[in-house]
Amino acid sequence: MAPIRLGLVGTGGRGQIYADVVKAMSPERAVWSVMCDRQADVLEEFCTRNGLGPLPGVSSVSDLVERTDVDAVLICTPDYAHREPAEQCFGAGLHCLVEKPVATTAVDARAICQAARQSGCIMHLGFVLRYDPCAHQLREMVAAGAIGEPIVCLVHEAVGWFHGSTYMRRWNRLREYSGDMLLHKGCHTLDIINFICGAYPRRVAAMGGLQVFRARADAAESCDRCGRTADCLYYADQGPAYRERFYNTAGPQVLPDPLCVYNTDKDTTDTSCLVAEFDNGMRLSYTMSMVSPQGERRLTLIGTRGEIRCDMSTYRIHYWSLPDKPVQVIEVARPAGTGHKHHDMALLSDFLSRIEQSTDPTTGIIDAHMSGAVAFAALESIERGTFVDVEPL
């Protein structure tokens, strides 16, 4: 079988990750055919840095889709800029891996999913948590009936305080670009709930807003003009180690501007909670906070025959089955490497496998839609103060 010929749209952080992943793969599996970025100098530097040699580069998706040497495209543009390249690529009959979230508005998300459906091509979302061994273990246990019929799912998305503060110094703090923290960050967890339970939510009620990063009269607009730096947890320049941590957490784009996390302009939520009813009868309670000592995802699944508790950062699952049986502690093998390198490789490999095996694209499209539809419904519920139906595709 000939290798799958890939195109890349967007050479930022996620584009670099896929360049690293393809480099680690066998060239018999996938090869680059074309790179696309609006900035010629950025594109040239990206190709040079990654040793891609005389690889064709284009400045527009319109030029990319006219080529005859591309089978699939990885869309790694910013969150708010997925729709145009996705519609063009699907319209040209190309399979697409679209970075998460699928879009920052419900209208754009639906348009992308409809374009994928009409094309008959594979649509794959960049949800790396679907390839986490803990998520797979939980999915297998639920599917095997370990807890009987799922009744309740309790989830807390604990965003670490340091990670949370970086969101208030970059584009994520504006819904125009990120859709909201509940979408940008929460879509990972909301998606794996669907994945683990094999079900989709039907209606949602939510509350949320700014609880931590509210405007403060006793702080300035930037750290370099503020008199509270000595006792501010989020002071932007606490020395080289602090700045290196920012770089490793969020990238260099946050370093030059010592914006006050309290007084910078923003319209995202930093704290939210929602309840949802699923099509299998299960009910979900989900909360997110941005000031936890460390980042964690804590899940509890309760069913008619037992209960599962898991903190996905520990790779340890506690399982109780009825009636009155002792707890079983299940140690899940932690992936090798740092960050989610294992997950990135597994994600791209799965996308390629779906193309190679000509799998039914329907499930991937529905999964993509429902991963964002929950958050969109929740944000609408926050505004309206009522339950909101999660619209099917």
Q: What is the pLDDT of residues 45-104, one digit of tens each?
A: 999 999 998 889 999 999 999 999 999 999 999 999 999 999 999 999 999 999 999 999
User: Mean per-residue pLDDT for 265-275?
Assistant: 96
Q: Which pLDDT band holds residue 339 (cuts at 50, 70, 90)?
A: low
Res 254 pLDDT > 70: no
d(CA 72, CA 97): 8
290 token code pair: 């941005």
Res 256 pLDDT > 60: no
Q: CA torsion angle for 270, 12, 18, 135 (degrees, to 10)?
A: 0
DSSP single-letter state for residue 332: P
Beta strands in 24-92 (DSSP E): 30-36, 57-58, 72-75
Residue 280 near residue 150 (C-beta atoms within 8 A): yes
User: Mean per-residue pLDDT for 323-336?
Assistant: 93
Q: Which pLDDT band holds residue 169 (cuts at 50, 70, 90)?
A: confident
Q: Which pLDDT band holds residue 284 (cuts at 50, 70, 90)?
A: very high
Res 252 pLDDT > 70: no
CA angle 348-159-197, nearest 5°?
Answer: 55
Residue 34 near residue 71 (C-beta atoms within 8 A): no
275 token code pair: 């309840």
The residue ranking higher by pLDDT, 244 or 126, is 126
Tell me what pLDDT residue 263 has. 96
d(CA 297, CA 286): 11
d(CA 124, CA 104): 17
DSSP single-letter state for residue 327: P
The residue ranking higher by pLDDT, 140 or 257, is 140
d(CA 237, CA 223): 8
CA neighbours within 13 Å on the CB side: how many for 113?
Answer: 24
CB-neighbour burial class of residue 76 (10 A; exposed 0-12, middle 13-18, buried 19+): buried
Q: Which pLDDT band holds residue 363 (cuts at 50, 70, 90)?
A: confident
Per the DSSP assignment, residues forming a β-bridge with 299 are 155, 310
Least confident of 114-128, 194-208, 219-233: 219-233
Residue 283 near residue 290 (C-beta atoms within 8 A): no
Tell me what pLDDT residue 337 has. 67
Element (H, E) at 181: helix 181-184
User: Mean per-residue pLDDT for 114-134?
Assistant: 95
User: Mean per-residue pLDDT for 351-356?
Assistant: 96
Radius of gyration of the chain (CA): 22
316 token code pair: 């340890």
State whether residue 180 is helix, strand or coil: coil
Tell me what pLDDT residue 85 has. 98
Q: Which pLDDT band holds residue 148 (cuts at 50, 70, 90)?
A: very high
Res 251 pLDDT > 80: no
Distances in Å between the Cα of 244 and the Cα atoms of 46, 100, 168, 254, 294 are 22, 26, 17, 11, 17
